[in-house]
């Protein structure tokens, strides 16, 4: 369930993707991942011949069912852990490795997300935490080095899209919907225990082109298409662990694009739980400058997210 602070909205809005704002190293997560997030059925590949003994279904069918089960459950808590290694021109030829971790909750139906992110050392604010909220198509960020204590920066998602920033990276529901574009190479692998739950494991690849083509037309922008083409990304390796109800318990993805390698692990639990996300108090919010449609500062008393 999504609730607002001083200004409450009960309207349902089309689901968009959480932005890859420059939260230090989190931008690296968008390489290959965000542009490949699918919202509705996309995979066209034939099922793998590998079958799950427990269910008499193919591994391909279990993975696709997991995406559906997650969508039907709608909300959950999640934890994110990433390790990114970059080399080449961007790093002066030196190899740099940094980690980002976070934990939060989301409600895919309302488009609500709240999350705390721990920044990597390369930001100059190692170990500091950035709070992120997504309410009614507006992202709010708070914490050093972005804001002072108790202050928030507001970033409307349409402004981020207009600036050419990917809006699919640190969105947990986006990661799950990629599974709808799974290729036909899925096999069953040994399960692991995830947060006290014994799981079944499945490994394969996601087809980025199929995922892109499954996006709603308004998200199939020329910029996104060009970024996907220039990345040279042809497959996203993943390992998925599901619980006894086929709901995702953990998904691990490996992406290697133009000198940047990322390993992204996302855990899910408390499926179907209530999620409440409030917009910050209006007086503590300023608009982020430099984005189309975003002003320099929100006037005192203006509605948050208006």
What's the rounded mean pLDDT across residues 55-60? 82
Beta strands in 259-305 (DSSP E): 260-269, 285-287
In the prediction, which pLDDT does 199 show? 97
Q: How many CB atoms lie within 10 A of CB 69?
A: 18
Query: Element (H or E) spanning 81, and its range?
Result: strand 75-86
Question: pLDDT category, 49, cuts 50, 70, 90?
Answer: very low
Q: What is the pLDDT of residues 102-142, one digit of tens each?
A: 999 999 887 788 999 887 765 555 567 889 898 888 889 89
Residue 177 has pLDDT above 60, yes or no: yes
The helix/strand/coil state of 87 is coil
The structure tokens listed for 147 are 């804001």
In the prediction, which pLDDT does 122 show? 54
Buried b (16+ CB within 10 A) or exposed e, 210-245: bbbebbeeebeeeebeebbeebebebbebbbbbbee
Residue 33 has pLDDT above 60, yes or no: no
Residue closest to 80 by CA, chosen among 113, 116, 31, 123? 116
For Cα atoms 107, 269, 26, give the angle at the middle one, nearest 5 degrees: 65
- The answer to whether 34 touches 167, Cβ cutoff 8 Å, is yes
Query: What is the rounded distance in angstroms from the CA atom of residue 252 to the CA atom of residue 239?
Result: 5
Q: What is the pLDDT of residues 207-222, one digit of tens each?
A: 888 888 877 676 677 7
Terminal Cα-to-Cα distance of the chain (whole angstroms): 20
Q: What is the pLDDT of residues 225-257, one digit of tens each?
A: 887 888 788 888 999 999 999 999 999 998 887
Question: pLDDT category, 146, cuts 50, 70, 90?
Answer: confident
What's the rounded mean pLDDT across residues 263-268? 92
């Amino acid at each position: 369930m999504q609730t607002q602070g001083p200004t409450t909205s009960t309207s349902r809005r089309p689901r968009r993707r959480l932005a890859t704002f420059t939260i230090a190293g989190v931008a690296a997560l968008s390489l290959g991942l965000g542009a490949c997030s699918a919202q509705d059925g996309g995979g066209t590949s034939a099922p793998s011949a590998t079958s799950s003994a427990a269910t008499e279904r193919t591994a391909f069918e279990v993975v696709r069912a997991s995406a559906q089960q997650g969508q039907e459950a709608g909300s959950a808590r999640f934890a994110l852990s990433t390790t990114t290694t970059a080399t080449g021109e961007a790093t002066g030829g030196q190899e740099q490795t940094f980690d980002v971790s976070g934990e939060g909750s989301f409600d895919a139906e309302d488009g609500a997300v709240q999350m705390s992110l721990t920044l990597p050392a390369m930001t100059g604010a190692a170990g500091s935490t950035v709070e992120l909220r997504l309410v009614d198509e507006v992202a709010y960020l708070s914490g050093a080095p972005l804001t002072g204590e108790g202050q928030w920066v507001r970033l409307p998602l349409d402004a981020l899209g207009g600036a050419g920033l990917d809006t699919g990276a640190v969105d947990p529901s986006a990661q799950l919907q990629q599974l709808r574009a799974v290729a036909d190479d899925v096999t069953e692998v040994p399960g692991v225990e995830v947060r006290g739950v014994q799981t079944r494991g499945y490994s394969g690849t996601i087809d980025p082109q199929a995922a892109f083509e499954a996006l709603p037309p308004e998200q199939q922008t020329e910029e996104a298409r060009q970024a996907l083409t220039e990345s040279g990304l042809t497959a996203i390796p993943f390992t998925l662990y599901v619980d006894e109800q086929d709901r995702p318990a953990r998904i691990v993805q490996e992406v290697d694009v133009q000198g940047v390698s990322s390993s992204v692990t996302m855990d899910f639990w408390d499926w179907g739980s209530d999620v409440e996300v409030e917009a910050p108090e209006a007086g503590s919010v300023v608009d982020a400058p430099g984005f189309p449609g975003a002003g320099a500062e929100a006037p005192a008393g203006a509605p948050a997210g208006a």
